Amino acid sequence: MKKVLFSSVIFALLFGLAACGGGEEAPQAADEVVDDGVRTIEIVGTDDMKFVVREAAEGLVTGAQAGQYLLLEAIEAAPGEELRIRLTTVSNLPATAMSHNLALVELGTDVDAFARASITARDNDYIAPAFEDQVIVTTRMLGNGETDTITFTAPEAPGEYDYVCTFPGHFAGGMVGKLIVQ
Ligand SMILES: [Cu+2]
């Protein structure tokens, strides 16, 4: 019994040390760091109210350089393709002033109306309840340093699906893009 206890203490000590890891950036959460073959797109939301990526990649339509990033204009996907989007907000401002989400909506959604209606939907993470049935998938609203990962299946119907950030003013500021299913 005594030996067992001793081993447990050693184990706890070793485990504790390993968990501390010493200064390296900790992973977001165990369930977000996975390698299961699903295409994962790392997107950053910036203080310029843009969706950006760190580098170009197949299946991404990128535009102008935006500081250290590339503007992300569109994501190309096959019908029914499984996709994962990891959105991270990088900001110098408090979350109440600068947060981002990424909400993908059905074809035919009036995104301008959706964004405008969502301005007053703070209690619902800035997703207007009246438009919820047109939202295919959305991340949480994220302040500086926060990340959310969504895994979803691209629609079967080909078309250009809008995604927007619904934080007040960000749609108007150009925080938009398209999921091109083809
Ligand atoms: Cu935003």
**Domain boundaries of the chain, sorted by first residue:** 27-181
pLDDT tens for each residue of 45-54: 999 999 999 9
Distance 15 CA to ligand 1 centre (A): 39
Q: Tell how far the Cα of 98 is from the centroid of ligand 1, in angstroms.
A: 7
Q: State the pLDDT confidence band at 34, using cuts at 50, 70 and 90.
A: low
CB-based contact 137:153 (threshold 8 Å): no
Residues 50 and 71: beta-carbon distance below 8 Å? yes
Over range 25-41, report the average pLDDT: 67
> For the ranges 26-30, 94-98, 113-117, 162-166, which has the lowest average pLDDT?
26-30
CA of 170 to the centre of ligand 1 (A): 5
Distance 49 CA to ligand 1 centre (A): 5
What percent of the chain has pLDDT above 70?
A: 81
**Ligand 1: distance of its center to the CA of 168 in Å?**
8
Separation of 1 CA from ligand 1 center, angstroms?
57
Measured in Å, residue 4 CA sits from the centre of ligand 1 at 53
Q: Using alpha carbons, list the distances in angstroms from residue 87 to 32, 55, 103.
A: 11, 15, 11
What is the chain's mean pLDDT, rounded?
87
- How far is the centre of ligand 1, averaged over its atoms, from the C-alpha of 128 (Å)? 15
Quick one: average pLDDT of 95-110?
Answer: 98
The predicted-structure confidence for 144-180, as pLDDT tens digits, reads as follows 999 999 999 999 999 999 999 999 999 999 999 999 9
**Of the candidates 11, 44, 54, the residue with the CA atom closest to the CA atom of residue 177:** 44
Residue 79 has pLDDT above 50, yes or no: yes
Question: 152 forms bridges with which residues in the sheet?
Answer: 83
Does residue 112 come out as left (phi exceeding 0), alpha (psi in the -120 to 50 range) or beta?
A: alpha
Average pLDDT of the residues in 31-39 = 75
Nearest to 181, CA basis, from 99, 83, 97: 83
- Residue 101's contacts (CB-CB under 8 Å, 6 or more residues apart) are 87, 125, 126, 127, 138, 139, 140, 141, 142, 148, 165, 166, 167
Q: How far apart are the first and last CA of the chain?
A: 64
* Mean pLDDT within 124-147: 98
pLDDT reading at 26 higher than 90: no
- Confidence band of 127 (pLDDT split at 50, 70, 90): very high
What's the 3 CA to ligand 1 centre distance in angstroms?
Answer: 56
pLDDT computed for residue 35 by the predictor: 76
CATH superfamily of 27-181: Cupredoxins -  blue copper proteins (2.60.40.420)
- What span, in angstroms and rounded, lies between the C-alpha atoms of 37 and 81? 12
Instruction: Answer for the pair 80, 153: CB distance below 8 angstroms, yes or no.
Output: yes
From the CA of 12, how far away is ligand 1's center (Å)? 42
Distance 96 CA to ligand 1 centre (A): 11
pLDDT tier at 142, thresholds 50, 70, 90: very high
Å from CA of 176 to ligand 1 middle: 9
Q: Shortest CA distance to 167 belongs to which of 107, 131, 134, 118?
A: 118
